[in-house]
A and B are shown apart, each in its own frame.
Chain A
Amino acid sequence: MITPDVLTEFIRKSMPDAAVTVTDRTGTMGHLKETGGSEDFHGKNLLDRHRRIYQSLDVPMKDGRIHALELTARTRDEA
């Protein structure tokens, strides 16, 4: 189980300008929907944007705190 603010912290560590919105989809804090907006995404296709987010969440994913994650990754002007 992971709380939205802990998850946001992980993302901010590697994408400091990320605007993160986290919604817990099943009430178990395991299925999370995360919307990230970062200038880091400019020029990156969707697959690479999501890879970037997954990299920043490598630790909580590996230790099982995150079971499933749904991602939306946009730049600020796309947000």
Chain B
Amino acid sequence: MAEPIEDEIHKEVKAHKILIYGKGTKTMPMCGFTRETMQFFDKYGYPYELIDVLSQPVKREALTKMTNWPTLPKVFIDGTFYGDTDILDPMEKKGEMEPLLKKAFGK
């Protein structure tokens, strides 16, 4: 029986085309990298969700195991894990981000 926390994560990842697990909330991000990630997506104008895992240590630990990625923020696009802006920025430079987001939002 899968851990309930993992079920919850799977549901969240499915529910949001762009999902950022980070520190703080949209109105009060508590980490520069979380803010940087929001600003990255603000440029494209697509809606995204930020889920604070500072206040949810069990979920934070489960995410680290599931993604084999030790840091926050953790970004999912269309159900796939993409790390953080260290991965998104080079993808953008190679012109891979626009088509990916278009496909995710069915444009």
Residues in chain A within 8 A of chain B (CB atoms): 31, 46-47, 50-51, 54, 58, 61, 68-72
Residues of B close to A69: CB separation below 8 A = 71
Given A46-B87, A50-B86, CB of A68 within 8 Å of CB of B70:
no
Number of B interface residues in the complex (CB < 8 A): 14
Asked if B82 and A47 make an inter-chain contact with CB atoms under 8 angstroms apart, the answer reads yes
A-B contacts, 8 listed (Cβ < 8 Å): A46-B83, A46-B91, A51-B69, A68-B31, A68-B32, A68-B71, A70-B86, A72-B86
Whether A58 contacts B70 by the Cβ 8 Å rule is: yes
CB-based A-B contact count at 8 angstroms: 32
Expressed in whole angstroms, the Cα–Cα distance for A79 and B31 within the complex equals: 29
Most buried by B among A50, A58, A61: A50
Complex: how many Å from CA A33 to CA B82?
A: 19
